[in-house]
Structure 1
Amino acid sequence: MTLKLRWHKLTHWEYWPLWAIYYPLFPIWVFFSIKARSFFFFNAANPKMKNGGMAMESKNEIYDMIPEAHIPKTILIEKDTPASEITKRINANGIAYPFIVKPDIGMKAFGVDKIHNREELQDYIDRTPQDYLIQEFIPYANEVGIFYVRMPNEDRGKITGIVAKEFLSVIGDGKSTILQLIKQTPRSHMHLRTLSKKFGNQLNAVLEKNKEFILVPFGSHTRGAKFIDKTNKNNAHLERLIDAICIQMPEFYYGRLDVLYTDFEELSEGKNFKIIEINGAGGEATHIYDPKHSLFFAWKEITRHWNYLCKISMLNHKRGFPYLSFNDGRTMLKQNGVLEEELKLV
């Protein structure tokens, strides 16, 4: 990485490693832990999700909780299932190329890919370390993350943050190659190694003027997406829609819904959208990563959401839902760390 890119990462906190953002807040987590009388109180936040949805939870099990009408067609594939058998299953479920593959237990969009043909599928089969999901590709152009909280003793929940996600892309000028365009902005240049591996010689093509080329079709900050805070676009229609969906999910009180949609007004009206993922206790209020926000704003929002998490967990604990023991919590974090390193290689 060039000195210029290193300086850009250093002076823009959104690119800092998570430990640099969250470690200064450790005393606040300790405060909430003392209040809840458990370091791993989050387990009770969403009692029907493994570990409350903090880590090591099955995405397939979470999809089973979401009303079927609001999710893409999704099938669970066991590791080492032959491509011929997978072809039979995707055909039986009405899924066609291209489709999305993602680890059943995953994080930060590691191991998520778009598969266009049998050869790419076989390549993914060969390199994935665990069971994974095949999911129909939803061609909606926009993605938004909506954070939702509801107290267990209340009938209605609320939206506490909305983030729009701009996929990592370049715009052609009719003269420059895709490679040259990637190098023009730090956000894309930082991912050059991964993009070169994915696209190869295709990066040497000259892009037509004003034509957009999507480099990463996923709204993940770790994969280069730009996050824009759209919390001010919250409205009564959208809040009723999200609340109605989340209330149908058994014992779900805290998390972020990642949604593909065509138009924000249509989304608010409940039209033309699909929920592609729900993150529970481990979900971040990702509107904090808008480049316009300071680190102090992020710390304030993280603390605000931890407060919701603690209150919800304590109320559910009083209802009889257990916290995670210290040993089990430590084991979970170790397993999550090992898995993260494995998925980075996929």
Structure 2
Amino acid sequence: MKNGGMAMISKMDIYNMIPAQYIPRTIFVKNDETADQALERVLNSGIAFPFIAKPDIGMKAFGVEKIHNKVEFQKYVKWSPSHFLVQEFVPFQKEVGVFYVRKPGEAKGKITGVVSKEFLSVTGDGKSTLLQLIKSNPRSHFQLKVLKQKFGDQLNNVLPLGKEFVLVPYGSHTRGAKFVDICHLINADLNNTINEVCTQMSGFYYGRLDVLCNTFEELCIGEKFSIIEINGAGGEATHIYDPKHSLFWAWREVARHWNHLCEISILNYKQGHSYLSFRDGRTMLKESGALQSRLKVV
């Protein structure tokens, strides 16, 4: 995206850039609204329980929660340190991250990376409790403190043989999701679908779209998908986090994408868009660190 100044970007401002047919129904909630006022607006908009609540300015899925009832919503409002969004729950089971690059002046961009996100889950063996299954997997064990807060006594239940239990239904690396590089599946249909979305967004040339869909094949042909997040210049090409890749391979991918970003920035500068100053960049970095410390999981 073009340089928007030193302030961190509001997710609502980004959603307003995206054609409405591609995103979930979304309501902006100010931090001075009471839970009753906000919930009345949410329900009147046609959004029903369960729905998703997320910080308006956030990162790494911190503070993103599925809200099932009024009590949970009241708890979220009490916790929220700032403005937040309420989104209708999208029941699609697959999340994909698609990185897109287009130079200013080009009619069509290209996809430079695709990642499939496997939500943090455990599978029952008919003997072990949820707690034991969580502890047996390093990826879920790392999330144990948060999972104890979320599930409480439910962790003592024995999961039936073969039954999968999703612990964290969000495609965030920091919340336990596994990222799988599926760049080999990039095809002309997917390029056309993503390009159709991105060229309708004024000033968007570089970034990652996080998309929910039923199947990857349906996403490719533009059917049954919903964009739940777009990250611009600060977005990562998250296929680098596939465990099969080496650190040196990931560094090369980062450098490749930064080269794209540099080329786009130079072209934007020639069209009159200023660079972010070192001072403003440092300020954003400090704001980001402060925000991350506040956005603890509910």
Is the TM value for this pair above 0.5?
yes
1:148/1:157 contact within 8 Å kept = yes
Residue in 1 that maps onto 2:187: 235
Please name the residue that 1:173 is paired with: 125
One-letter code aligned to 1:343: L
Paired residue type of 2:133 = L
Instruction: Give the structure 1 partner of residue 272 of structure 2.
Output: 320
Measure how far apart 1:345 and its partner are.
Answer: 5.8
| SS of 1:237 mapped into structure 2 | helix
Aligned partners of 1:307 and 1:279: how far apart in 2? Answer: 17
Amino acid in structure 2 at the alignment position of 1:259: V
The more displaced of 233-242 and 329-338 is 329-338
Q: In structure 2, what is the equivalent of residue 225 of structure 1?
A: 177
* Counterpart position of 1:210: 162
Q: Following TM superposition, by how much is the alpha carbon of 1:145 offset from its aligned partner in structure 2, in angstroms? A: 0.1
Alpha-carbon contact 2:146-2:297 (below 8 Å) kept = no
Q: Does 1:78 align with 2:30?
A: yes
Instruction: For residue 51 of structure 1, report the CA deviation from its aligned partner.
Output: 4.8
Q: Which residue of 2 aligns with 1:117?
A: 69
How far is 1:133 from its partner? 0.3
Q: CA deviation at 1:273?
A: 0.5
1:199 corresponds to: 151
Give 1:154's aligned residue.
Answer: 106
Alpha-carbon distance in 2 for matches of 1:212, 1:306: 39
Q: Decide whether the 8 Å contact of 1:70 with 1:275 is kept in 2.
A: yes
- Aligned mates of 1:185, 1:233 — CA distance in 2: 29
Cα distance in 2 for partners of 1:191, 1:263 equals 28
* 1:12-54 CA-partner distances (Å, limit 9, x unpaired): xxxxxxxxxxxxxxxxxxxxxxxxxxxxxxxxxx12x6359xx
Instruction: Give the count of matched residue pairs.
Output: 298
Q: Which amino acid aligns with 1:113?
A: E
Identity of counterpart residues, as a percentage? 61
In structure 2, the gaps of 5 or more residues are: none
- TM-score of the pair, normalised by structure 2: 0.97
* Aligned residue runs from structure 1 range 30-49, under 5 A: 46-47=1-2
Superposed CA offset, 1:75-119 (max 9, x none): 100114112112211112111111111100001111111111111
State the SS of the aligned residue for 2:167: strand
3-state SS of 1:50 partner:
coil
Report the counterpart of residue 189 of structure 1 in structure 2: 141
1:329 partnered with 2:281: yes
Unaligned runs of 5+ residues in structure 1 are 1-45
1:80·1:125 contact (CA, 8 Å) conserved in 2? Answer: no
2:4 aligned partner, one-letter code: K
Asked if 1:50 corresponds to 2:11, the answer is no
Counterpart amino acid of 1:293? H
Deviation at 1:335, TM superposition (A): 1.4
Distance 1:318 1:238 in 2: 31
- Paired with 1:187 and 1:157, the residues of 2 have a C-alpha distance of 35
Residues 248-268 of structure 1: CA distance to partner in whole angstroms, max 9, x if unpaired?
A: 000100000000000111111
State the shift of 1:153 in Å. Answer: 2.5
The structure with the largest helix share of the pair is 1
Alignment partner of 2:39 out of 72, 77, 87: 87
For residue 246 of structure 1, the aligned residue among 194, 198, 207 is 198
